[in-house]
Chain A
Amino acid sequence: MSDQPMNKGPHDVGGESAAAVDTIDHGMSFWEKQANGLRSVLSGQRIVRIDELRRAAEDLGNQYSMLAYFERTTSALRTVLLEKGLITESELRAKMDEIRKRFNVPDEMESPLKNASQK
């Protein structure tokens, strides 16, 4: 954020110089399609609003540019679901532990999000 004007969020990139566009469509992985389906069902039923999700993504600050698109949207959905009380931190932690065990994922996997939540 340091080199950004005060009122310009990390998402507001229109007009900045940048490299050539990679014109290949790299598609979406299965989990991304599933995450997109989840987000779409929730917004379609007005359980969460697109504007809420966008605000939560824009609030990611420095993390914004470090995360891939669906990592940002997943992180934003987490924020909004927690805010609305539709899920709790402890429920999410317990369910994520359960899923890690299901897939034999070691708990030492680190992520920017995990680090951020420990701040």
Chain B
Amino acid sequence: MATQILMPALSPTMTEGKLSRWLKKVGEPVKAGDIIAEIETDKATMEVEAVDEGVISSLLVPEGTEGVAVNTPIAELNGTGQVAAPATVPAAKAPAPAAAAPEPRPAAPAAVEPDKEWGATTPITVREALRDAMAAEMRRDKDVFLIGEEVAQYQGAYKISQGLLDEFGAERVIDTPITEHGFTGMAVGAALNGLRPIVEFMTFNFSMQAIDQIINSAAKTLYMSGGQMGCPIVFRGPNGAASRVGAQHSQCYASWYAHCPGLKVVAPWSAADAKGLLRAAIRDPNPVIFLENEILYGQTFDCPTDPDFILPIGRAKIERAGEHVTIVGFSISVGTAMKAAEILAEQGISAEVINLRSLRPLDIGTIVASVKKTNRLVTVEEGWPFAGIGAEIAMQIMENCFDYLDAPPVRVHGVDVPMPYAHNLEKLALPLPEWVVDAVRKIV
């Protein structure tokens, strides 16, 4: 039985090469692993090893031949009757381009349903809301645990985990050394094996130490495993600027994480957002980035007292209804937008304020419905403008309701510089309600 030896592909991009030298002659026996030829590619000279056993019966391509296409027969073996390579060159693979599958996206932005009514409320701080959410979920599911720097004995660098060590013990409220890359990878591994970790980053600035594990392991493994390996994990902590902590501790990661398929990204503003969304994040079977804000931790909001209170991820909330302009914000920027709306009301302009709550998935339906009514859009965020959340929203509005716009959308954002330390300079770097008012006045 004759076996053809084919010109091999020796790199992901090789289509042809030079057969520079034969190391076996006609009549010579060949064993698996023997070097039979040298081939030059555009990158290197490579040795070709035999895969099958036999005796060389003919050399089909003389040495020195250039431009030998991959899969061209270059020699023949008279085999020993053993299993051999296919004697024919495989047909050119799948020449017909597969019909592109349509991207599954909402055909039309869905009509906005009202939030579920949760009844009685009580004022609590965002800090208390976050702690209560974690405590409630840890009581509900013993696979949930909290891990991070200073979360246990210190009670949290920002006191978010106050009291959790006492209630749940050191097995479930776990202090780590200051090694974000290592403990994040460990938590992701635990999630792949079925646990539900809550990873606290002291601030999201430090998540950059671990971003490889967040993106390459947590976000992509479900896809890479063909749906076998889900990763139910929450990464939470304060994001964005605090107060005069300088460039390395004052950055917004909203756009960084929202860029990546495989992640959900949530950014609460109020205590109700914080509590309801964190509970949903912990129950979610996917990795969730939960962006908090240090300035908001001490702020008080009314929050439902219902012990089952939870909010769905992926739903925005209209915080203030209006007619003349839609202002979209998330996290602390919702507060900025609300103050701007008050100032605008005094000037006779009625602004609708949308609290995004979730950045990925983005509730574009709620924004589109609002813009169709107001015909104007202003976005507000503390992060940098380039490829930011505002840029994404503006583009999606153009894709969905361009004809409804009476003016180009305007972005209000943090100034495009590393955060300065000086009191006056930092104030100049972050959006104020007046900036939003000015942006609205440009287009209304």
Is B truly associated with A? no
Q: Name A residues whose Cβ lies closer than 8 Å to a Cβ of B.
A: none
